[in-house]
Amino acid sequence: MDSKICQEMRYTVHFYPDDVKVVVYAGTTVLQAAIDASIYIPSSCGGEGLCGRCKIIIDKQEVLACRTQVDTDLEVRIPPVLDRKRLAKKRVVLPIKKQGLNPITKKLYLELPFPKPGDNIDDLYRLIQGIKKECGISPSIEFPIIQKLSKTLREERFKVTVSLLDVNEKPTIVNVEPGDTRSNHYSIALDIGTTSIYAQLLDLEEGKVLAETSCFNPQIVCGEDIISRIVYSLKPGNLKRLQELVVKAINEIVEDLTHVAKIEKSDINQIVVAGNTTMIHLLLGIDPRYIRESPYTPTCNFIPPVRAKEIGIDLPPYAYIYIIPSIASFIGGDITSGILASKLYETQELSLYIDIGTNGEIVLGNREMLVACSCSAGPAFEGGGVSCGTFATFGAIERVRIDRDYEPEIETIGGVKPKGICGSGLIDTLAELLMNKIISQNGKFNEDLKTKRVRKKEGGFEYVICWKDENDLDHDIVLTEVDIDNLMRAKAAIYAGISLLLEKLELTLSDISKIIISGNFGQYIDLRNAHIIGLFPEVSLDRFEYIGNGSLLGARLCSFSKDMLNQTREIANSVTNIELSDNPRFYDEYLQALFLPHTNMEEFPGVSEKLKKRA
């Protein structure tokens, strides 16, 4: 058999526990096969064999999926990492006043005069004049509406509801419905993160959140972080695939939200999206290649409204997507949105805004100046790169206390059996391990403890947070030395970013009146523990403010208010981006922060005190 024929042989790869089969050509890597089958295998180097994270089990052997080629039928077991189930939906009522509502898509009810002989007025002019009379503007109109206009106007005897896209340049009529439909007017707020997507369905007439949901960003099957996704997108067809994956997830979210809230998709008039620059490029099918190449140029930071249907979202043609503008390649619209939501840009006092997602972004400023930087923290605090990490979903361990006998006490989201540890649980665990001397300040395990909770495995030491028979998995929930390394690297990057930003502006912590924390950690982070591990500067706890998912919050505010949406453009234009990757001082600061809480213990006097007491 010559090699050509050989290459055309095809084999079946059977993935467990998903129980999904895929047929691939001989020579395909298992990682590629998994991508083809939409099966998630952790990976962050774009399949280059560098990150060592795409471990799978074939014939009881652990191998790397990206380095293993298919040359026979295979049974592949993927070690459990993340729970891919959705967060439960809940119904929340926000305290937003109805009279304050001013969404960019407006509904206007009109009772137009009937045509009369000799008045020589065509239907479209009649409509435009009616709008002008009502609110003084003379809008343009989308073509497909004209096609059906004569019938629409006459259906309810010239009583119609007009949907207006109220952009500054020239308002546009995007829909005309017979009768009065003002009460059916909804928006979706979306936060599209590298790891997960959060969504809320909003009632634009009442100013309420009707439903919310979240899911993994299904693009993670193609790479876990921004860089590996961009690398993945470079091959032919892959950009399209990335776009289709996220659009499919959004379509499912739309189905879920409308089902829960019992509303019609045809009444959704807008989507407001916040996301990092790369996620927005991928959502819109825009080539992200130059984001990654120096001088790190995005195709666009500000994007005009895009018809949802145009990118494959299953909504009516009059539903538009408004993208919250980005600031730079690595400071995205999610940060702009968070700056809006936190009111950072409005206050006299200086504040520090810290967003912990798959990356860490830091903004320092007030109403006079805004400076931002991005630190490659990695997704550890979102549960990524941590063996039993998960994001803040039902069953995630979000609180951990360890007693003098080294036994943990845990709380999970929803109070159900544990499935993994989320950000706040990881911070707690790390802090408790340190305070109980189970690990040292450089993150290494104390090998002399008399407890079954600390044990040695092939990969090194680990601490068992939850035994297999107490959880919902087929293995113990542990925190390994490798996990601790990842968490320390993440917190060091964030702390170094903060230090450098202050240094650049010749400021000290005493100049900062408020530290605003944004992120999806489950419940609030235990700030005492965040101090113990040196994630945040040790300042008085009352100077901290936690706003939850700032990106989603900003998208919600922009859904309700055109003025806020316009404000985001001003914010994005006014933020100065500081590139840390070029800065040697950043690496110095980073190395100093690779210690619990920090090499320079003077920066953490309170934690030093506590550690001494425990000694």
Q: Which of 581, 405, 376, 366 is nearest to 489 (CA)?
A: 376
Q: What mask of x and - would describe binding to a second copy in positions 295 to 334, judged by CB under 8 A?
A: x-xxxxxxxx-xx--x---------------x-x------
Contacts of 522 (CB under 8 A, 6+ apart): 392, 396, 398, 413, 422, 423, 424, 425
Rounded least distance, CB 116 to a second copy, Å? 6
The binder of a second copy chosen from 64, 200, 577, 590 (CB under 8 A)? 577
Is residue 28 within 8 A of residue 9, CB to CB? The reply is no
Number of H helices, E strands in the chain: 16, 27
Rounded least distance, CB 276 to a second copy, Å? 14
Q: What single letter denotes the amino acid at residue 420?
A: G
The binder of a second copy chosen from 19, 119, 447, 458 (CB under 8 A)? 119
Q: What whole-number distance in Å separates Cα of residue 356 and Cα of residue 32?
A: 30
Is residue 68 within 8 A of residue 29, CB to CB? The reply is yes
Half-sphere exposure of 190 (CA within 13 A, CB side): 33
Residue 12's alpha-carbon distances to 32, 42, 67, 99, 161, in angstroms, are 13, 21, 18, 60, 55
Is residue 187 within 8 A of residue 271, CB to CB? The reply is yes
Q: What mask of x and - would describe binding to a second copy in positions 139 to 178, judged by CB under 8 A?
A: -xx-xx-xxxxxx--x--------------xx--------
Rounded least distance, CB 142 to a second copy, Å? 9
Nearer to a second copy, 305 or 418 (CB): 305
Nearer to a second copy, 149 or 535 (CB): 149
Is residue 106 within 8 A of residue 205, CB to CB? The reply is no
Nearer to a second copy, 164 or 552 (CB): 164
Half-sphere exposure of 476 (CA within 13 A, CB side): 14
Nearer to a second copy, 401 or 569 (CB): 569
Nearer to a second copy, 19 or 582 (CB): 582
Nearer to a second copy, 61 or 120 (CB): 120
Q: What single letter denotes the amino acid at residue 318?
A: Y
The binder of a second copy chosen from 16, 85, 125, 259 (CB under 8 A)? 125
The binder of a second copy chosen from 38, 579, 583, 595 (CB under 8 A)? 579
Q: Which of 614, 488, 603, 589 is nearest to 538 (CA)?
A: 603
Size of the site for a second copy (CB under 8 A): 48
Nearer to a second copy, 86 or 309 (CB): 309
Q: What mask of x and - would describe binding to a second copy in positions 276 to 295, judged by CB under 8 A?
A: --------xxxx-xx---xx
Instruction: Determine if 2 is a binding residue for a second copy (CB under 8 A).
Output: no
Rounded least distance, CB 376 to a second copy, Å? 18
- Residues making contact with a second copy (CB under 8 A): 115-125, 140-141, 143-144, 146-151, 154, 169-170, 284-287, 289-290, 294-295, 297-304, 306-307, 310, 326, 328, 577, 579, 582
